[in-house]
């Protein structure tokens, strides 16, 4: 990506050499990677190039925050058809840079090659800043469950786009925006770690599915209360217009990239987080006292009816 990106002032050796050299103040590197493919993870007719770049960065930086870590750098590989306009590539990069700025990270390098379809390979890096990593396996019976932001808005926005109704696009623009360009709270991860979070995860594939990973790794049962989910009124109104159940979006939709975490007690939960359940002995997930019988979240190897798969809904 030489000549496209500004120099990274935090790097010992920045863009222009075979590899970047980054200072790691903590001594431990946190790393995460994702692959996005056009037609499965994004559609260019639904999202501006800046939104595609920002979304790609967001879903990777959120994984760093979910460990309780601080994002510091992002690397990205880009594969594109030879007919792709240079301006489109620059706009994708611009969106990625803007999201990195929002998360306190910088793009430290990457690569570009030709391919039959557009693909982005993203690697994000962070450091613990002296904290212990918060994994999926630390939840215990008696903990409370909380989330750092709303869930279901991205899935609702995808449903609006799939409906293809111009009037609904206008009325529900905020949900469409949430799908095109999620806004993770990167401070929430380190904040939760400092508050004593016992387990944490990025909600990328769906709240039930992702907390299911926490329940399995921790050997516990997690109970959720749907009425406590933030933004349920907005989702219910949109669901009424589209003839669906808002809980499918909130509980099984993904890509809002809120963080979900368990804490020893409600008094440990930071003020910006919302308590939505608790942890008990057992296994799996209960929603309002019942096993969730519908799809729990995104399955990466299942095609949607529209032929659009995703790292979440879209």
Name the 3-class secondary structure at 135: coil
| Torsion angle of C-alpha atoms 157, 158, 163, 168, degrees rounded to 10 | 10
- Is residue 170 domain-shared with residue 256, that is, in the same domain? yes
Task: Give yes or no for residue 308 having a pLDDT over 70.
Answer: no
β partners of residue 122: 34, 76
pLDDT digits (tens, 9 = 90+) for 27-46: 899 999 999 999 888 999 99
Looking at the structure, do residues 85 and 166 belong to the same domain, yes or no?
no
Please give the distance of CA 298 from its chain centroid, rounded to a whole number.
Answer: 13
CATH assignment of the domain containing 210: 3.90.650.10
CA angle 185, 189, 193 (to 5 degrees): 155
Same domain, 222 and 180: yes
Per-residue pLDDT tens digits for 80-121: 999 999 999 999 999 999 999 999 999 998 999 999 999 999
Domain of 276 in residue numbering reads as 144-291
CA gap 269, 137 in Å, rounded: 18
Local confidence band at 312 (pLDDT 50, 70, 90 cut-offs): very low
Return the CA Rg of the chain. 19
At 307 the pLDDT is 36
96: domain CATH number? 3.30.1330.10
Residue 312, domain member (yes or no): no
pLDDT band at 300 (very low <50, low <70, confident <90, very high): low
- 281 and 233 in a common domain: yes
Q: Say what the pLDDT of residue 156 is.
A: 93
Mean pLDDT over residues 135-160, rounded? 96
Q: How far is the C-alpha of 77 from the C-alpha of 34, rounded, in Å?
A: 11
* In a shared domain, residues 102 and 176: no
* CA neighbor of 199 nearest in space, from 259, 251, 151: 259
As a whole-number percent, the residues of the chain with pLDDT over 90 amount to 74
- Tell me: do 105 and 164 sit in the same domain: no
Residue 36, CA distances (Å) to 27, 41, 98, 119, 185 in order: 30, 6, 19, 6, 22
List, in sequence order, every residue forming a beta bridge with 124; answer none if it has no partner. Answer: 32, 74
pTM of the complete model beyond 0.95: no
Q: pLDDT confidence of 313, banded at 50, 70, 90?
A: very low
Q: Say which range, 10-14, 99-103, 225-229, 285-289, has the weakest mean pLDDT.
A: 10-14
Based on the domain organization, do 154 and 194 belong to the same domain?
A: yes
Task: Count the domains in the chain.
Answer: 2
Structure tokens at 13: 């050796």
Say yes or no to pLDDT of 310 above 80: no
Same domain, 229 and 188: yes
Q: Does 301 score more than 70 pLDDT?
A: no
Q: How far apart are CA 285 and CA 279, in angstroms?
A: 9
Whether 225 and 110 map to the same domain: the answer is no
Is the pLDDT at 136 greater than 60, yes or no? yes
- Does 117 share its domain with 189? no
246 part of a folded domain = yes
- Tell me, yes or no, whether 93 lies in a domain: yes
Same domain for 103 and 191: no
Q: pLDDT for 43-83, tens place per residue?
A: 999 999 999 999 999 999 999 999 999 999 999 999 999 99
pLDDT at 20: 77
Task: Tell me the pLDDT tens digit for each residue of 112-130.
Answer: 999 999 999 999 999 999 9
Over residues 223-271, the pLDDT tens digits come to 999 999 977 788 998 999 889 999 999 999 989 999 999 999 999 999 9
pLDDT given for residue 296 in this prediction: 61
Residue 35 domain-assigned (yes or no): yes
């Amino acid at each position: 990506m030489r000549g496209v990106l500004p120099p990274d002032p935090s790097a010992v050796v920045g863009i222009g050499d075979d590899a970047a050299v980054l200072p790691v103040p903590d001594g431990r590197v946190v790393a995460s990677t994702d692959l996005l493919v056009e037609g499965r993870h994004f559609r260019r007719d639904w999202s501006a190039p800046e939104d595609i770049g920002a979304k790609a960065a967001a879903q990777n930086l959120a994984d760093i925050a979910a460990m309780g870590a601080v994002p510091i750098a992002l690397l990205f590989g880009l594969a594109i058809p030879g007919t792709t306009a240079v301006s489109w590539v620059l706009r994708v990069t611009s969106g990625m840079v803007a999201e990195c700025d929002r998360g306190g990270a910088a793009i430290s390098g990457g690569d570009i090659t030709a391919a039959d379809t557009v693909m982005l390979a993203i690697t994000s890096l962070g450091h613990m800043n002296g904290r212990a990593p918060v994994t999926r396996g630390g939840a215990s019976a008696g903990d409370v469950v909380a989330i750092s932001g709303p869930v279901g808005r991205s899935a609702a926005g995808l449903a609006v786009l799939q409906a293809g109704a111009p009037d609904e696009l206008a009325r529900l623009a905020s949900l469409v925006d949430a799908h095109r360009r999620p806004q993770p709270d990167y401070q929430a991860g380190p904040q939760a770690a400092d508050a004593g979070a016992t387990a944490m995860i990025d909600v990328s594939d769906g709240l039930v599915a992702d907390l299911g990973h926490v329940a399995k790794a921790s050997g516990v049962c997690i109970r959720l209360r749907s009425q406590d989910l933030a933004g349920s009124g907005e989702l219910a109104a949109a669901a009424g217009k589209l003839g669906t159940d808002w809980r499918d979006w909130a509980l099984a939709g993904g890509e809002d990239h809120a963080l979900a975490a368990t804490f020893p007690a409600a008094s440990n939960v930071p003020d910006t987080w919302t308590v939505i359940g608790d942890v008990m002995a057992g296994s799996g997930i209960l929603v309002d006292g019942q096993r969730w019988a519908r799809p729990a979240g995104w399955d990466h190897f299942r095609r949607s009816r529209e032929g659009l798969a995703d790292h979440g809904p879209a």
